[in-house]
Amino acid sequence: MSSEFDTYKILIAGDQELGFSLCARFIDRKLVDPRMLALESLAEDWPEDEWRKLVSVSLAGNIHTLELHLELHGPWVWTLYGVMEPRDYFRRFEAAIIAADPRHTDSYTHLPSFIESIGAHIGGTIPMIVIADTSEGLTNDQLDKVEDMAKQLDLPFVKVNIQTGENVESVFKKLAQIICEEENP
C-alpha cells in the first residue's frame, strides 16, 4: 500500500493470541475463526506480525485518514534486543493496544509494568487502549477487573468480541481519534 497518508506504527502487546486475533479480524472482517489462525501463526518461531490498514476519523469537522501499521509484540522480540536497544524498539511506535486476558492473573502486574516500561524507554507516553475479549466466556467480574486496571492506568477500555467482530473496528477508530486529538489540540 503506497502512502499519501500519515503513517503510524501501532504496538499490539499483552496477550499474543488476542492481539493477533484482533489484528486479523480488523484486516479481514469475513475471517471465520481468528483465534485458530492466531494459534497456527503463533506456533511459528517468527509469525507474520505486521498488518496495515487505513482508518478515517473526524476531528473538528475535518476528516483525517491515518495508515496504521500494526505490529504484534511477542517473545521473538527479545531476540531483537541483541541488536537493538529497548528504547530504540519502543520509540518506533506512536500508539499501543494492550490486549488483556483476565484468566492470566499475572496480567494485573505484567501489563502495568509493561506500560511503565514503554514510558521509561521512550521518555514519555503514547496513546494506548486496553481491550478484553467477550467471546472467550469471561465472567462480568473478570471483565470488571480488566476495566478497573485500565481505569487505574488512566487508559480507555474496550470490550471486543473477536468471533463476531463486535467493537473491533471501534478500537482502532478510537485509537486513531486519540492520536489525531493529541496531534491537533
CA atoms within 13 A on the CB side of 42: 18
User: Which pLDDT score is estimated for 34?
Assistant: 85
| Sheet of strand 157-160: strand arrangement | 50-59, 62-72, 6-14, 95-99, 128-133, 157-160
C-alpha cell at 14: 499483552
Ordered structural domains, the chain, with CATH: 6-183 (3.40.50.300)
User: Which pLDDT score is estimated for 80?
Assistant: 58
- For residue 107, the 8-state DSSP code is H
pTM: 0.88
User: Which pLDDT score is estimated for 74?
Assistant: 74
Q: How far apart are CA 177 and CA 155, in angstroms?
A: 14
Residues of the chain with pLDDT under 70: 1-3, 46-49, 75-84
Contact assessment for residue 130 and residue 155, using Cβ atoms and an 8 Å cutoff: yes
User: Which pLDDT score is estimated for 38?
Assistant: 84
